[in-house]
Structure 1
Amino acid sequence: MQKIFSLEGKNAVVVGGAGGIGQAIAQGLAEAGAKVAIASRSVDSLQRAVLEIKEACGLEVKYYTVDAAVESSVEALVVESVKDFGKVDILVNAQGFNKKFNAEDFPMDSFKQMFDVNVIGVMMCCKHFGKHMIQNGYGKMVNLSSVRGRIATKGPGNAGYCGTKGALDMMTRQLASEFGKYNITVNAIGPTITETPMMTDILNSRGPNARKDLAESLPMKRMALPTDCVGPAIFLCSDASGFVTGNIIYPDGGLTAIG
């Protein structure tokens, strides 16, 4: 039974894999048997992530630089990874960012930038890796979304983020519809606020009760960790999810159940 979760013989590219949830997923895929490459804009971040993964589990991962908001850079990533791996079976899109402004004051250049990275950048990766997967007759795509693609925040500031994640969720479903006939599944993972290195600094700035308050708001009564997304990612990248496509899995401690 465990073999249906094995990624032995599979090659994976994790865009946005140089930190946080993307790095945790990259390490998890490698531990499940896949050959893994991570991609991001920063060479320093990529080299740090490669070292941390090696120290954590003893496994090597490759890395490539890419600007996921530039189509020619994404095309080059596909060419380079296919050249090195022979084929790419798995694409994880973990890139994205958030800028918070009250809706009435939201700068449109920031709003557009969020859509360029969080939506258009993901679409470009799915488009170009999708062409390769269509030729192979097989593929697994996993997009990193958020609970904010499904439910809004009570406080202000997230019109851009919620908008991009809602768009990403619907794009995931439509890609699943179009790619299904080629034996390509497209799904998403929608976590809640997760204690990534970037979020740690934000939580620390909110005072000593920030983590406790977030934990108490969830049925599971604890903060989310990057590793909480690893199991869902392995499931969605393995044969265990062979008939699962167009879905969003929420490792959110129960937030969407009560939100």
Structure 2
Amino acid sequence: MKNAFDLTGKKAVVVGGGGGIGKAIAKGLAFYGADVAISGRKAETLQAAADTIKEETGKDIVCIAADATSEDAVKELYAKANEALGQVDILVNSQGYNEKHPIDEMPLEVWNGMLNTNVTSVMLTCRTFAQGMIERGYGRIINVSSIRAIRAVNQGMGNTCYSVTKAAVSMLTASLAAEWSKKGITVNAIGPAITMTPMMEKVFEANPNMKNILQANIPMGRLGEADDNITPVIFLASEESAFVTGQCIYTDGGSSVII
């Protein structure tokens, strides 16, 4: 019986690969055999993530600093990734952030910044990396959406903009899946619930009671861990998902099935 998740020989780029979920996904891709490049704005963050991944998997990770909200920077990222790895087979978009403000107090520059990072950059990387995938008739694109794409936060809690951006990522995923369905490219997403990342740890430090409140609302009774997202992404990146496109796998402890 073949190793269903074997990615040996595949070339993968993880945008946002220096962050909590992105780093876990990059680690998983490397563990299952892919050659991996990670990208993000801060070179030092990328290198720290690459060092950790090598310690855990033994594989070298390519680091390419780039601002994915810039079309020129994304084109340069694409060129550098192809030069370092060869033609890219797998693209993961894990970039994004959440700056919380009630909508009536939301600074327009924050709103526009989140739309640019969480949505526009995903579109830019998808369409740029899809060029080579379309030429070869093969590609796997996996976007990181969120449970917030389909479930609003009670009383908002400053998450309206973030929820809007993740809903956009999910619809972008579905639309690109339809657009590229006959070109050999699958486009899917994962939708994590609240996940323990360095960013969330800082939020909980500032709001000590928040963790218990949020945890109580997840049917499985715990917050997500970054590694919870590895296997769903590996499935979507592998040949086992060849007939799966336009879908979102919710790594959410059951949150999406309750009111």
Q: Is the 8 A contact 2:7 2:29 kept in 1?
A: yes
Which runs of 5 or more residues in structure 1 are unaligned? none
- Residue of structure 2 equivalent to 1:177: 178
Deviation at 1:32, TM superposition (A): 0.6
Identity %: 45
Residue aligned with 1:234, SS:
helix
Question: Which residue matches 2:10?
Answer: 10
Separation of aligned partners in 2, 1:257 and 1:2:
34
Residue 100 of structure 1: SS of its match in structure 2?
coil
Separation in 1 of the partners of 2:138 and 2:2? 21
* CA shift digits 1:23-50 (9 cap, x unpaired): 0000000001100000011011011111
Deviation at 1:155, TM superposition (A): 2.5
CA contact (8 A) 1:15 1:39 kept: yes
> Whole-Å Cα distance in 1 between the matches of residues 184 and 11 of structure 2?
16
Counterpart AA for 1:228: D
Aligned to 2:24: 24
- 1:88-117 CA distance string (max 9 Å, x none): 000000000111111112111111111111
Moved over 4 A (4+): none
- Counterparts of residues 136-215 of structure 1 (less than 5 Å): 136-156=136-156, 157-207=158-208, 209-215=209-215
Question: TM-score, normalising length from structure 1?
Answer: 0.97
Q: Aligned partners of 1:183 and 1:106: how far apart in 2?
A: 41
CA deviations over 1:60-95 (Å, ceiling 9, x no partner): 111101100000000011111112222100000000
**Other structure's SS at 1:228 match:** helix
Instruction: Determine the C-alpha separation between the residues in 2 that align with 1:159 and 1:215.
Output: 20
Q: TM-score, normalised by structure 2?
A: 0.97
Structure 2 residue runs without a partner (length 5+): none
Matched, 1:38 2:9: no
Q: Which residue of 2 aligns with 1:239?
A: 239
CA contact (8 A) 1:204 1:210 kept: no
Aligned residues: 258
Q: Which residue of 2 aligns with 1:93?
A: 93
Residue 197 of structure 1 and its aligned partner are, at CA, apart by 1.1
Could you tell me how far apart the structure 1 residues matched to 2:155 and 2:64 are?
38
User: 1:69 maps to which residue?
Assistant: 69
Amino acid at match of 1:237: A
Deviation at 1:9, TM superposition (A): 1.2
Distance 2:224 2:33 in 1: 25
The answer (yes or no) to whether the contact 1:229–1:251 under 8 Å persists in 2 is yes
Q: Distance between the aligned counterparts of 1:64 and 1:43, measured in 2?
A: 7
CA shift in 2, pair 1:107/1:2, >3 Å: farther
**Contact 2:62–2:84 (CA under 8 A) maintained in structure 1:** no
SS of residue in 2 equivalent to 1:45 = helix
